[in-house]
Amino acid sequence: MKVQNTLSQKKEVFEPINSPHVGMYVCGPTVYNLPHIGNARPAVFFDVVNRYLQFLGYKVRYVRNITDVGHLTDDGDMGEDKISKRAKLEQLEPMEIVDFYTRKYFEVIDKLNVIRPNITPTATGHIVEQIQLTQKILDAGLAYIADGSVYFDVHKYNKQEKYGELSGRILDDLLEATRELDGQEEKRNPADFALWKKAQPEHLMRWSSPWGEGFPGWHLECTVMSTKYLGETFDIHGGGMDLMFPHHECEIAQAKASTGKAPVKYWLHNNMITIDNAKMSKSTGNFVTIEELFSGNNPILAQAYSPMTVRFFILQAHYRSTLDFTNDGLLASQKGYKRVINALNIIKKLEFPKENFDKNLFDEKIDTQIHQFCDNALRAMQDDFNTAMALGQISNMVKKINTFYLQPETIPQIAETTFARMKGLFIALVEDVLGLQEEKNDNTEGLIVALLEFYKEAKAEKNYAIVDKIRGHFKANKLTIKDLKNGNVEWGYEE
Partner RNA sequence: GGUUUCUUGGCCGAGUGGCUAGGCAGAGCUCUGCAAAAGCUCGUACAACAGUUCGAAUCUGUUAGAAACCUCCA
Beta carbon nearer to RNA, 406 or 484: 406
Contact between 326 and RNA by CB under 7 A: the answer reads yes
Contacts of 460 (CB under 8 A, 6+ apart): none
Q: At its nearest, how many Å lie between RNA and the CB of residue 278?
A: 6
Answer for which of 24, 63, 131, 174 binds RNA (CB under 7 A) is 174
Q: At its nearest, how many Å lie between RNA and the CB of residue 392?
A: 3
Contact between 130 and RNA by CB under 7 A: the answer reads no
Q: At its nearest, how many Å lie between RNA and the CB of residue 161?
A: 18
Contact between 12 and RNA by CB under 7 A: the answer reads no
Q: What is the DSSP letter of 409?
A: G
Beta carbon nearer to RNA, 126 or 318: 318
With contacts defined by CB under 7 A, name the span among 30-38, 225-233, 421-429, 451-459 that binds RNA. Answer: 30-38
What is the C-alpha to C-alpha distance for residues 42 and 240, in angstroms, rounded to an integer? 7
Q: At its nearest, how many Å lie between RNA and the CB of residue 248?
A: 9
**Closest among 260, 272, 252, 250 to 317, alpha carbons compared:** 272
Long-range contact pairs involving 84-88 (C-beta distance under 8 Å, separation at least 24):
none
Contact between 217 and RNA by CB under 7 A: the answer reads no
Using CA of residue 203, residue 207, residue 209, residue 212, what is the dihedral sign? positive
Q: What track of x and - describes contact with RNA for positions 144 through 173 (by CB under 7 A)?
A: -----------------------xxxx--x
Query: Three-state SS string across 324-346, please?
Result: EECHHHHHHHHHHHHHHHHHHHH
Binding residues for RNA restricted to 462-481, rule: CB under 7 A? none
3-state helix, strand, coil in the chain (%, to 5): 50, 15, 35
End-to-end CA distance of the chain: 57
Answer for which of 336, 425, 452, 470 binds RNA (CB under 7 A) is 336
CB-side exposure of 266: number of CA atoms within 13 Å?
21
Binding residues for RNA restricted to 340-359, rule: CB under 7 A? 342
Q: At its nearest, how many Å lie between RNA and the CB of residue 272?
A: 4
Query: What angle do helix axes 327-349 and 387-406 make, rounded to 10 degrees?
Result: 50
Contact between 329 and RNA by CB under 7 A: the answer reads yes
Contact between 282 and RNA by CB under 7 A: the answer reads yes
Contact between 298 and RNA by CB under 7 A: the answer reads no
Contact between 263 and RNA by CB under 7 A: the answer reads no
- E-assigned strand segments in 17-111: 21-26, 59-64
Collapsing DSSP states into helix, strand and coil, what is residue 487? coil
What is the C-alpha to C-alpha distance for residues 367 and 420, in angstroms, rounded to an integer? 12
Q: Residue 45 corresponds to which amino acid?
A: F
Backbone dihedral angles phi then psi of residue 94, each to the nearest 5 degrees: -55, -40
Beta carbon nearer to RNA, 18 or 178: 178
Size of the site for RNA (CB under 7 A): 78
Q: At its nearest, how many Å lie between RNA and the CB of residue 219?
A: 8
What is the C-alpha to C-alpha distance for residues 326 and 330, in angstroms, rounded to an integer? 6
What is the C-alpha to C-alpha distance for residues 425 and 444, in angstroms, rounded to an integer? 32
Beta carbon nearer to RNA, 21 or 247: 247
Binding residues for RNA restricted to 65-104, rule: CB under 7 A? 67, 71, 74-75, 77
Quick check: 63 and 25 in contact, CB under 8 A? yes
Q: Looking at the DSSP assignment, which residues form a beta bridge with residue 5?
A: 10
Beta carbon nearer to RNA, 5 or 134: 5
With contacts defined by CB under 7 A, name the span among 33-41, 148-156, 422-430, 437-445 that binds RNA. Answer: 33-41
Answer for which of 13, 89, 91, 179 binds RNA (CB under 7 A) is 179
Quick check: 25 and 222 in contact, CB under 8 A? yes
Contact between 391 and RNA by CB under 7 A: the answer reads yes
Beta carbon nearer to RNA, 320 or 456: 320
Beta carbon nearer to RNA, 173 or 483: 173
Say how many residues make up the chain.
495
- State how beta strands 193-198 and 207-209 pair: unpaired
- State how beta strands 59-64 and 21-26 pair: parallel
Q: Which helix (H) or strand (E) holds 274?
A: strand 273-275
With contacts defined by CB under 7 A, name the span among 139-147, 253-261, 348-356, 394-402 that binds RNA. Answer: 394-402
With contacts defined by CB under 7 A, name the span among 56-64, 143-151, 328-336, 435-443 that binds RNA. Answer: 328-336
Answer for which of 18, 322, 368, 417 binds RNA (CB under 7 A) is 322
Collapsing DSSP states into helix, strand and coil, what is residue 360? helix
Beta carbon nearer to RNA, 375 or 432: 375
Q: Which helix (H) or strand (E) holds 144?
A: strand 143-146
Quick check: 367 and 415 in contact, CB under 8 A? yes
Contact between 368 and RNA by CB under 7 A: the answer reads no
Binding residues for RNA restricted to 49-68, rule: CB under 7 A? 67
Answer for which of 328, 355, 445, 495 binds RNA (CB under 7 A) is 328
Contact between 323 and RNA by CB under 7 A: the answer reads yes
Backbone dihedral angles phi then psi of residue 17, each to the nearest 5 degrees: -65, -35
Beta carbon nearer to RNA, 73 or 135: 73
Answer for which of 54, 298, 402, 437 binds RNA (CB under 7 A) is 402
Q: At its nearest, how many Å lie between RNA and the CB of residue 492?
A: 32
